């Protein structure tokens, strides 16, 4: 069961990282990117395939798609410094597709100077209850649990400021699912959502030397 859960979590993480960042607006922050490289990337042309996909799936014109990608690059470059500026009050960050800006979450103990510095850097600021560290700690506790088949996945949602546990809708009343949810809620800030089905891999397992499709 633990091996199945780890594969499920890995597949979900990859899907969220790629699809969510490019389409829904979540942000993977790269601590390695410098302002100079970010400026170069912001002006780099996007591949025709990516632009076509954004036009098709997001309903954007070519110019809008190019600006969206440039805005995401700017937000990615800003994220490491935003984390450093927020310090112990940091609650996470994400790219907001509507405003085209990085949103940085901070807890109420962030002082006025910190909030002002974040805004002056170009980021939007949102006050939240929990720090990123607390959310990651809660998720780590869930990672050590054995998940029943009715629990599809879990992950930190910085915009919602909670750890989201996805439960298969027609299995949410199962005793083992309810027991898992009770343990999850005891681990920290948790929100339970329902999904139609649990994700599955396209192979029985990962074996060294075998191709993975």
Domain that holds residue 167: 133-195
Residues 6+ apart with CB under 8 A from 128: 91, 92, 105, 106, 107, 161
Answer whether residue 188 is part of any domain.
Answer: yes
Contact by Cβ (8 Å): 96, 68: no
Give residue 16's pLDDT: 35
Q: How far apart are CA 124 and CA 118, in angstroms?
A: 7
The answer on 118 and 183 residing in a single domain is no
120 in the same domain as 29: yes
Whether residues 109 and 143 share a domain: the answer is no
Identify the helix (H) or strand (E) that includes residue 193. strand 190-195
Q: How many domains does the chain have?
A: 2
Q: What is the DSSP string of 159-190?
A: TTTEEEEEEEGGGTTSHHHHHHHHHHHHHSSE
CATH of the domain at 164: 3.30.300.50
Please list the pLDDT of the chain residue by residue as tens digits (213 residues). Answer: 443 444 344 443 333 333 334 333 455 443 444 444 444 455 556 788 999 999 999 999 999 999 999 999 999 999 999 999 999 999 999 999 999 999 999 999 999 999 999 999 999 999 999 999 999 999 999 999 999 999 999 999 999 999 999 999 999 999 999 999 999 999 999 999 999 988 877 666 667 777 766
What pTM value is reported for the model?
A: 0.72
Task: Please check whether residue 204 lies inside any domain of the structure.
Answer: no
Q: Are 101 and 184 found together in one domain?
A: no
**Do 177 and 98 belong together in one domain?**
no
């Amino acid at each position: 069961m633990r091996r199945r859960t780890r594969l499920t979590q890995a597949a979900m993480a990859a899907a969220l990282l790629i699809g969510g960042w490019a389409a829904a607006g979540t942000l993977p922050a790269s601590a390695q990117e410098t302002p100079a490289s970010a400026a170069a990337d912001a002006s780099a042309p996007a591949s025709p395939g990516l632009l076509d996909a954004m036009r098709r799936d997001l309903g954007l014109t070519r110019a809008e798609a190019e600006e969206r990608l440039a805005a995401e690059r700017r937000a990615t470059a800003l994220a490491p410094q935003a984390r450093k500026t927020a310090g112990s009050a940091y609650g996470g960050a994400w790219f907001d597709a509507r405003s085209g800006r990085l949103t940085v979450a901070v807890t109420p103990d962030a002082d006025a100077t910190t909030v002002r510095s974040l805004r002056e850097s170009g980021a939007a600021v949102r006050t939240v209850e929990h720090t990123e560290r607390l959310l990651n700690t809660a998720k780590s506790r869930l990672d050590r649990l054995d998940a029943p088949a009715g629990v599809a996945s879990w992950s930190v949602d910085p915009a919602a400021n909670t750890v989201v546990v996805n439960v298969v809708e027609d299995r949410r009343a199962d005793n083992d699912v309810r027991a898992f949810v009770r343990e999850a809620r005891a681990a920290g800030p948790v929100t339970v959502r329902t999904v139609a089905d649990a994700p599955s891999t396209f192979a029985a397992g990962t074996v060294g030397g075998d191709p993975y499709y």
